[in-house]
Structure 1
Amino acid sequence: MNVREFLNHYSHGQRKYVGIRLHAADLKGASLSPIDLSRADLSHADLSYADLRDARLEHANLTNADLSWANLAGANLVDINLIGAELSEANLAGVDLSRGDLRCAQLQGANLEGVNFKNADLEGVSLQRANLRNTKFEGADLAGADLTGADIAGSDLKPGEIPENPHVASHCWVTWAGDRGEVSGSSATV
C-alpha cells in the first residue's frame, strides 16, 4: 500500500494497519489519531508535525524517522525501535516507551512528562532541555545520554544515574543496512 492509498483508507474510517510497510513515507503533518500501527515499518518516514495522539505503535520500526514537533501524547510505544529518530520538540506526555530502543535519538526540547522509560535503551540519546518531570527510568540504559538543561523534577533518576560525560550523544550517526539496529560505540547501524 502506498501513502496515497493509506491516507485514503484512513479517511474512510480504517484505523488498523498492523504490520504495514510505509518505509520513507511522507506523512508530514498527517492527522492520524486514533490509529493502530503496531509492528509497522515507518523507518525513515517523515512524521514531523503529525498528530499521533493515543496511537498504538508497539513493536513498530521508526528507525531514522522524523517525528519532530509530532504529538504522540498518550501513545503506546512499548518495544518500539526509534534508533536515530528525530523527536525534537515532540509531545510524548504520558507515553509508554518501556523496552524501547532509542539509541542516538534526538529529543531536544521534547515534552516527556510522565513517560515510562522502564528498561529502555537510551544510549547516546539527546535529552537537552527536555521536560522529564515525573518520568520513570527504572532499568533504563542512559550511557552517554545528554540531559543538559533537562527538567528532571519528580523523576526517579538518582544523582549517580545521571551521565556526567555525554560524549556519545554528540557523536552518534545512523546508517541504513537492513531491518534491525545495532549500536557499536558511538555509531549506529540499522
Structure 2
Amino acid sequence: MRATLVEASAPDGIASRQDVEATLQHHASPVRFIGWDLTDVSLKGLDFHGCEFVRCRGGRADFSSCDMTDTRFNSCDFNNTNWRRASLSAAIFQDCKLTGVQIVDARTLGLMFERCLLVSAQLHGLSFRRAELKSLDFQGADLTEVDFREAVLTQCDLRDANVTGARFEGADLRGADLGTMRLSDASKFKGAIISKQQAAILLSSLGLRVA
C-alpha cells in the first residue's frame, strides 16, 4: 500500500533545487508535486521515493542518481532530461512527453511507460521483458540491447529506432509500426511475431508479392 501523499504547492516561476529540497525535508510523507516547473534544474541525488509528479515541466532537468523508486509521473513534460544511474524501480510514467530522455545505467526493475513519447530517447539495455507496452513512440530511439522478449507492443512506433543487439524472442510486434523494413532489418527482430501485412512489406523489398 502506498503512503498518503502530501500535496505541495508550486512556487511562482521556475523552482530551484533549494525549493525542492525544502519541500521534501518539510514533509515526513512522500510529496505530490502538482504543476511544478523544474526546467534546467539539477536535482541530482535527491530522494523522491514514493512521490508523484502531476502536470510538471522539467525540460533538460538532471535527475541523475535520484531515488525514484515507486514514483508516479502523470501528464508531465520531461523532454531531454537525464536519469543516468537513477533508481526507477517500480516507477510509472503515464501520458508523459519524454523526447530525448537518457535512462542509462539505471535500476529499472518494474519500470512502466503508458502512452508516452520516447522519441530519440536513450534507453540502452533496458528490460521490457514480458511487459505490455501500449501507445509508446520510440521513433529514432536508442534501443540497443533492450530486452523485449515475450513483450506485447500495441500501437507502438519503432520506426528508425536503433534495435541493434535488442532481443525480440517471443515478442508480439503485430500491433507495432516497424516502418518500411528491408531484408537486412529482419534479423534484428529474430524470434518476434509479426503480422501478414508486416511480412508482405518485408517481402516487397525483394520484389515479391503475397497473394
Which blocks of at least 5 consecutive residues in structure 1 are unaligned? 168-190
* Kept in 2: contact 1:40–1:60 (CA 8 A): yes
Alignment of 1:6-155 (within 5 A): 6-13=20-27, 15-155=31-171
* Kept in 1: contact 2:123–2:142 (CA 8 A): yes
Tell me the amino acid that sits aligned with residue 148 of structure 1.
T
1:148-190 Cα distance to aligned partner (Å, 9 max, x none): 11233453336x96675799xxxxxxxxxxxxxxxxxxxxxxx
Displacement of 1:81 in angstroms is 0.8
Which protein has the larger Cα radius of gyration, Structure 1 or Structure 2?
2
1:69-112 Cα distance to aligned partner (Å, 9 max, x none): 22212122011111011112233332331210000001112244
| Shift in CA distance, 141/57, structure 1 to aligned 2, threshold 3 Å | same
More strand by share: 2
Which blocks of at least 5 consecutive residues in structure 2 are unaligned? 1-14, 186-211
**Distance in 2 (alpha carbons) for counterparts of 1:114 and 1:94:** 11
More helix by share: 2
Displacement of 1:143 in angstroms is 0.4
**Distance in 2 (alpha carbons) for counterparts of 1:37 and 1:142:** 27
Displacement of 1:129 in angstroms is 1.4
**Distance in 2 (alpha carbons) for counterparts of 1:37 and 1:72:** 14
Q: Which region of structure 1 is more displaced relative to structure 2, 75-84 or 8-17?
A: 8-17
RMSD after superposition: 2.5
**Distance in 2 (alpha carbons) for counterparts of 1:111 and 1:70:** 15
**Distance in 1 (alpha carbons) for counterparts of 2:150 and 2:107:** 15
* TM score, norm. by length of structure 2: 0.70
Displacement of 1:137 in angstroms is 1.4
**Distance in 1 (alpha carbons) for counterparts of 2:113 and 2:48:** 19
Q: Please name the residue that 1:2 is paired with.
A: 16
Tell me which of the two structures has the higher relative contact order, counting C-alpha pairs closer than 8 angstroms and 6 or more residues apart.
1
1:13-62 Cα distance to aligned partner (Å, 9 max, x none): 25011111111111112221011112111210111121111111111111
**Distance in 2 (alpha carbons) for counterparts of 1:136 and 1:11:** 41
| Shift in CA distance, 72/154, structure 1 to aligned 2, threshold 3 Å | farther
Q: Secondary structure at the match of 1:5?
A: helix
Q: Secondary structure at the match of 2:24?
A: helix
Tell me the amino acid that sits aligned with residue 157 of structure 2.
D
Alignment of 1:159-174 (within 5 A): none
Q: Secondary structure at the match of 1:6?
A: helix
